[in-house]
Amino acid sequence: MMDNIASSGSESDFCEYWVDMFLSIKGNEFFCQVDEDYMQDRFNLTGLEAEVDYYIKALRRITDHEVEIRDKYMDQKVEESARHLYGLIHARYILTNRGLHKMLEKYRRGDFGRCPRYYCNQQPLLPIGMTDEPKKEPVKLYCCSCEDVYNPKSNRHNAIDGAYFGTSFPGMLFQVYPSYKPDNSSKPYYIPKMFGFKIYESAELLRWREKMRDEQVLKIKETLQQLE
């Protein structure tokens, strides 16, 4: 079907079709549309050739310069590589001004979901990677209100590689758009109580004493090792 579109339509039409098709897949709602000129600039793709199998074929597919692949197995492998390549390009693109603006609009609409914590008052979430290395960790969701990280609710989103968003994206977004980060200075938090009295204070004191004792023991051991 894609080959027919490639032969009957313009090159830009096919590129739009592939990206639109990718973004329309259930589970890919977290991605924004990467500009075609960004993908055409080789400087933006520096280093990706070593990370993607069938790199040239994958790049030609997502930029509409593909030669027809008749072998179904190879076509499937190129498609997998194209989606992986798009994800890696996406991680770089969303750190640019244009990419940040697109992701900001999705954040404002709540496209990434909202924080489940009660005191966060339905604060919109942002996708984040626990590592920038591909195929290590799935994408997580970051709340800038409680500053905690959550697993996505959908299994489809849990299958997305966190490296396609990276570890720096939320921080970069709020550096460029600081007004969209809520003020947490007066944010309430839950305090466990029983009959109106706080509980667990004695347990907290015990944990603090144990922590101080462990730190003192460690300092003594380090001092003895230095003296030996």
The answer, yes or no, to whether residue 214 has pLDDT greater than 90, is no
Average pLDDT over residues 189-196: 73
Of 178, 161, 203, which Cα lies nearest the Cα of 30?
Answer: 161
d(CA 208, CA 215): 11
Of 63, 73, 51, which Cα lies nearest the Cα of 161?
Answer: 51
Longest CA–CA separation in the chain, Å:
81
Query: For 48-58, how does the pLDDT look when each residue is reduced to its tens digit (9 = 90+)?
Result: 999 999 999 99
Please tell me the predicted confidence (pLDDT) of residue 8: 36
Of 97, 95, 109, 108, which Cα lies nearest the Cα of 165?
Answer: 95
Q: Which tokens go with 198?
A: 């706080």
Average pLDDT over residues 51-75: 87
Of 76, 106, 81, which Cα lies nearest the Cα of 169?
Answer: 106
Q: Which tokens go with 143?
A: 């709340």
Eight-state DSSP code of residue 52: S
Contact 30, 127 (CB under 8 A): yes
- What stretches of the chain adopt beta strand conformation (E)? 125-128, 140-143, 148-150, 193-194, 197-198
Query: For 95-147, how does the pLDDT look when each residue is reduced to its tens digit (9 = 90+)?
Result: 999 999 999 999 999 999 999 999 999 999 999 999 999 999 999 999 999 99
- Entry pTM: 0.77
d(CA 32, CA 184): 28
The answer, yes or no, to whether residue 6 has pLDDT greater than 70, is no
d(CA 121, CA 145): 9
Contact 31, 166 (CB under 8 A): no
| CA 194 to each of CA 67, 119, 136, 201, 226: distance values in angstroms, whole numbers, following the listed order | 70, 20, 43, 12, 49
